[in-house]
Amino acid sequence: MTDTAARPDFRCGYIAIVGRPNVGKSTLMNALIGAKVSITSRKAQTTRHRITGIQTQGDAQFIYIDTPGFQTRHSNPLNKTLNRTVTTTLTGVDVILFIVEAGTFGPADKQVMDLLPSDIPCILVINKSDRIKDRAVMMPFAQQVAAERDFIAIVPVSAKQNFQLDVLEDEIKKHLPVEPPVFGEDDITDRSEKFLASEIVREKVFRFVGEELPYTSTVLIEKFEQEGNLRRIFAAILVERDSHKAMVIGQKGAKLKEISTQSRLDMEKLFGGPVYLEIWVKVKSGWADNESRLRAYGYE
């Protein structure tokens, strides 16, 4: 810990990022901490886990928790599990960021808002605000949402453009308790590199394969080795059917090659060193005996 972290007025606390799927929660957290620790995709509900991102400034440590998007249809067992993850998270935080998309506040947003605890300070964050150029449109929208609940602040931002993130941080800091830091000054997440590697591959699978692949598809890191600055990572993409396997591999292995290359580049940026990556695609039912021998190294 540094001398600044030991200051008697140091603030540290947990901030939950909450909203319906696809409002930009993961993108916002990555932008706030300045590193990609939570995966993003156009496919709604990419985030399955509670992901912690950490940012330490001179007099404060922000511990962000990126939650899965709240599911308003509970019939799916996965949706019920995801919603439990969100509600459990909200019980132990100091500030809530309720994220909505600029210009859009529908029944799904209202359902999420109604589930937020009333005794925790909540900031309304209007993301993608760069899409609305006319302030005459933004102000009535903000007032419409604010009429539904008491917010301690309303902050329009653009996570992709880094617009007004400093303003948002200032508002958050006002409501963090005076406490010493929980994590080290250089920590950016509490997740292991192995977990982050699996999430990066999963992100690329959904990004490059598209909507056809079910959520049940997942990624298993079978081996993670480090030799000096080099990381050797062996991953398996687990799918439900042979048809899904063919989709991930693509014609002559082109899709798997793309997934592997982009995964490796993201890993090298996040881990700060070279990565040797091999990926297989396996069918979950009896996957130990049913693996594709087509490898995608990510190297030319």
Give 114-147 pLDDT, tens digit per residue: 888 889 999 999 999 988 877 778 889 999 999 9
Q: Looking at residues 16-44, what average pLDDT do you find? A: 80
In contact, 148 and 111? CB cutoff 8 Å: no
Whether pLDDT at 22 is above 70: yes
Q: Is residue 273 part of a domain?
A: yes
pLDDT at 236: 93
In this model, does residue 285 exceed pLDDT 80?
no
In tens, the pLDDT along 207-235 reads 888 766 665 678 899 999 999 999 999 99
State whether 144 and 249 are in the same domain. no
Res 86: pLDDT: 57
- Whether 15 shows a pLDDT value over 80: the answer reads yes
Backbone angles phi, psi at 294, to 5 degrees: -85, 120
- Residue 203: per-residue pLDDT: 85
Task: Please state which of the ranges 13-22, 172-181, 270-279 shows the lowest mean pLDDT.
Answer: 13-22
Q: Is the domain of 108 the same as that of 79?
A: yes
Specify the pTM.
0.75
Q: How many domains does the chain have?
A: 2
Identify the pLDDT of residue 161.
Answer: 92
Instruction: Return d(Cα 70, Cα 61) in angstroms, integer.
Output: 26
Q: Containing domain of residue 278, as a range? A: 193-283
pLDDT in tens, 159-195: 999 999 999 999 999 999 999 999 998 888 888 899 8
Residues 148 and 243 in one domain: no
Q: For the chain, what percentages of helix, strand and coil (3-state, to nearest 5) are there?
A: 35, 25, 40
For 1-11, what is the mean pLDDT?
68
54 and 142 both lie in a single domain: yes
For 246-258, give one letter per residue: b (16+ CB within 10 A) or e. ebbbbeeeebbbb
Residue 289 lies in a domain: no
Any domain includes 187:
no
Q: Which residues, 6 or more positions from 267, have their beta carbon under 8 angstroms from its beta carbon?
A: 196, 197, 200, 231, 233, 275, 277
Angle at 194 between CA 193 and CA 199, to 5 degrees: 95
Tell me, yes or no, whether 49 and 160 share the same domain. Answer: yes
In a domain, 57, yes or no: yes
Output the six-digit token pair for 264.
Answer: 């490796």
Q: What pLDDT is recorded for position 186?
A: 87
- Is the domain of 262 the same as that of 143? no
Residue 149 located in a structural domain: yes
Phi-psi region of 106 (alpha: psi -120 to 50; beta: other; left: phi over 0): beta
Quick: pLDDT tens for 43-99.
444 444 567 889 998 899 999 988 765 544 544 444 454 455 556 667 789 999 999
Residue 230 lies in a domain: yes
| Token representation of residue 60 | 């404060």
| Pair (27, 110) in one structural domain | yes
C-alpha 284/C-alpha 288 separation (Å) is 8
Torsion of CA 110, 203, 211, 32, to 10 degrees: 30
Same domain, 200 and 236: yes
Q: Which of 139, 173, 207 lies at the terminal end of a domain, its last residue?
A: 173
Strands 122-127 and 95-101: parallel
Q: Do 120 and 237 have their domain in common?
A: no
CATH number of the domain encompassing residue 139 = 3.40.50.300
